Amino acid sequence: MTEFNNMVPALGIVTIESGDGRAVGEMEHRPDLSQATGVFHAGAIFTLADTMATVAVWSLADPDKEHERAKFPLAVQSNCHFVGNTGQGKLIAESKVVHPGRPPWWSKRTSDPKQANS
Distance of CA 15 to the CA centre of its chain: 8
Spell out the residues 6+ positions from residue 58 whose beta carbon is closer than 8 angstroms to its own: 2, 71, 72, 73
Answer yes or no: are the C-beta atoms of 36 and 73 closer than 8 Å: no
Write out pLDDT tens, residues 25-50. 999 999 999 999 999 999 999 999 98
CATH number of the domain at 7-115, please? 3.10.129.10
Domain ranges of the chain: 7-115
Q: What is the pLDDT along the chain (118 residues), one digit of tens a residue?
A: 556 678 899 999 999 999 999 999 999 999 999 999 999 999 999 999 989 988 888 888 877 777 676 667 677 778 888 888 999 999 999 998 887 776 656 666 555 655 444 4
Name the pTM for this structure.
0.80
Q: What is the separation, in whole angstroms, between the first and last Cα of the chain? A: 21
**Residue 111 has what pLDDT?**
59
